[in-house]
Amino acid sequence: MLNYRNTEIIELKSQIIEQFGIKLLVKREDQNHPLVSGNKWWKLKYNLAEALKSNHDTLLTFGGAYSNHLYATAAAANELGLKSVGIVRGEETLPLNHTLSFAKSRGMELHYVSREAYRNKTAPLFIEQLHKQFGDFYLIPEGGTNELAVKGCAGFARTLKEETAFDFLCLPVGTGGTIAGIIEGLDDTKNILGFPVLKGSEFLEEEIRQYTQKNHWQLLYDYHFGGYAKTNGELMSFLKTFEEEYHIPLDPVYTAKMMFGVFDLIKKNFFPLGSTILVLHTGGLQGRSGFSF
């Protein structure tokens, strides 16, 4: 299986944090693996084990042109000696961006489908057509989200609880699999805050509830900055200032939006006096490549 590096939890200190009487910690899961980093390691952990156990030699999965999941799956398959196929939303654009170029360099076969066809990615007929085209494969859903991914993230959450004390856990949200696992792995003494990076992502609540019936969580929808992979000057200025002060790299697609939201909530007195906030750095730093800093 893939190697896992135990990562540190560090405390962020500043006048703003001290002023509002809270403690802010960051779990550096961006450092848990050189290529399959952050939450992707935990989401793929049991899926990879199942693929190997069932003697599959090919992984097939889905993603957009800047997908952290495609990047991580290609890297993981290559490291384990498996083949991989990436079903990419939209038309091929040359030259390939950093994400797809890396995936291809790790042996992933890229297959482009229209946005309309991509919407059928979970339909049995569409999957059947993919089997006819690519043969036998182990299927991993978009973003890696399935029961095995939730299991992996729940296990990670339990290690967090043993590693440090905290009242709130904050993380960015894409497909909802990671936060579902975190919710399952923690009891209701912990408050879990998710920061969706998609515009109009209220549907995620229903997606998350497919995997958990617990209620000690909420999604905060005001920090998507226009939608997936979209930014503005305010976000990029925050990212630059944050990195200069704390020397922790963020990506504009996920972690910068989440961290902006955390600091905004601190300033708005969202967190009770004396709270300890644990922020989960979910990796995905390869997403920095498409932006200017």
Residue indicated by tokens 């922790």: 248
Compute the mean pLDDT over every residue in the chain, rounded to the nearest whole number.
Answer: 96
Write down the pLDDT at residue 287.
Answer: 85
Residue ranges per structural domain of the chain: 9-35+147-290, 39-144
Write down the pLDDT at residue 290.
Answer: 72
Average pLDDT of the residues in 56-65: 96
Q: What is the pLDDT of residues 255-279, one digit of tens each?
A: 999 999 999 999 999 999 999 999 9
Question: Residue 293: which pLDDT band, with cuts at 50, 70 and 90?
Answer: low
Write down the pLDDT at residue 188.
Answer: 95
Distance between CA atoms of residues 174 and 195, nearest Å: 9
Architecture of domain 39-144: 3-Layer(aba) Sandwich (3.40)
Note the pTM of the prediction, 2 decimals.
0.94
Question: Residue 28: which pLDDT band, with cuts at 50, 70 and 90?
Answer: very high
CATH fold of 9-35+147-290: Rossmann fold (3.40.50)
Question: Residue 224: which pLDDT band, with cuts at 50, 70 and 90?
Answer: very high
Q: What is the pLDDT of residues 191-211, one digit of tens each?
A: 999 999 999 999 999 999 999
Given a cut of 90, is residue 60 above it in pLDDT? yes
Average pLDDT of the residues in 179-193: 98
Domains 9-35+147-290 and 39-144 share a fold: yes
Q: What is the pLDDT of residues 131-166, one digit of tens each?
A: 999 999 999 999 999 999 999 999 999 999 999 999
Q: What percent of the chain has pLDDT over 90?
A: 96
Among 214, 216, 218, 184, CA closest to 204: 218
Given a cut of 80, is residue 243 above it in pLDDT? yes
Distance between CA atoms of residues 110 and 86, nearest Å: 5
Average pLDDT of the residues in 27-37: 97
Average pLDDT of the residues in 215-228: 96
Q: What is the pLDDT of residues 2-13, one digit of tens each?
A: 999 999 999 999
